[in-house]
Chain A
Amino acid sequence: SQTIHQWPATLVQPVGSPLSLECTVEGTSNPNLYWYRQAAGRGLQLLFYSIGIDQISSEVPQNLSASRPQDRQFILSSKKLLLSDSGFYLCAWSPLNSNQPQHFGDGTRLSIL
């Protein structure tokens, strides 16, 4: 069966520090991969999605970036975090056909101090 792993679960970072969140998927090949951010009590904002290795699409301008160095690995990064980057970051995967359900990781709660 397919599983998705996301870490760390919780992260506290100072303003201006770098960020690296990692997500890996097991049990499937060529998945679509997604990074979402969820502000407290709010909906899901799509940040990046990827249909293949090194193929990243950005949905909103920001100081975050994403990379997909391997088929089942998706990384969210920042060189300098802002206070507004605080939130709940969720990685998700779906089968290659985009009209399929998305399966989410457990998320990372990021607090910027």
Chain B
Amino acid sequence: GQQVMQIPQYQHVQEGEDFTTYCNSSTTLSNIQWYKQRPGGHPVFLIQLVKSGEVKKQKRLTFQFGEAKKNSSLHITATQTTDVGTYFCAGGGYGQNFVFGPGTRLSVLP
């Protein structure tokens, strides 16, 4: 079945540094979603990418969908303490439910 991996598993950065998490699928995806889960909270939807090579931005966050629609990345510029949490990608297969990656836990040191 479809597998979704994310690297790194953990990332510790100094406030102001950039951060990137990568998501890779074993199969070609129809689309991909990104979620953020704050410590003690529930996942919250951030964005969905559908088109090959698509790039979307939300303030300091940049999301990219690979040309082959098998990988994606989330880049945060100049991290802030409010960025702390776990970032999940979820790969949507054709006619299948979304499969969540294991997440990347981001710590931001002030």
A106 CA to B41 CA, complexed, in Å: 7
B45 close to A101 (CB less than 8 A): yes
Whether the Cβ atoms of A107 and B100 lie closer than 8 Å is no
Complex alpha-carbon distance, A106 and B63, angstroms: 26
Q: Nearest residue in A to B96 (C-beta to C-beta)?
A: A98
A99 lies within 8 A of B30 (CB): yes
How many chain A residues touch B (Cβ–Cβ < 8 Å)?
19
Closest chain B CB from A85 CB (angstroms)? 19
Smallest distance from the beta carbon of B5 to chain A beta carbons, Å?
10
Closest CB in chain B relative to A79 CB, distance in Å:
26
| Closest partner residue, chain A, to B10 (CB atom) | A41
In the complex, per-residue mask of B41-80: 1 if CB is within 8 Å of any chain A CB, else 0: 1111100100000000000000000000000000000000
Min Cβ gap A45→B in Å is 8
Residues of A in contact with B (beta carbons under 8 Å apart): 34, 36, 41-44, 46, 49, 59, 90, 98-99, 101-107
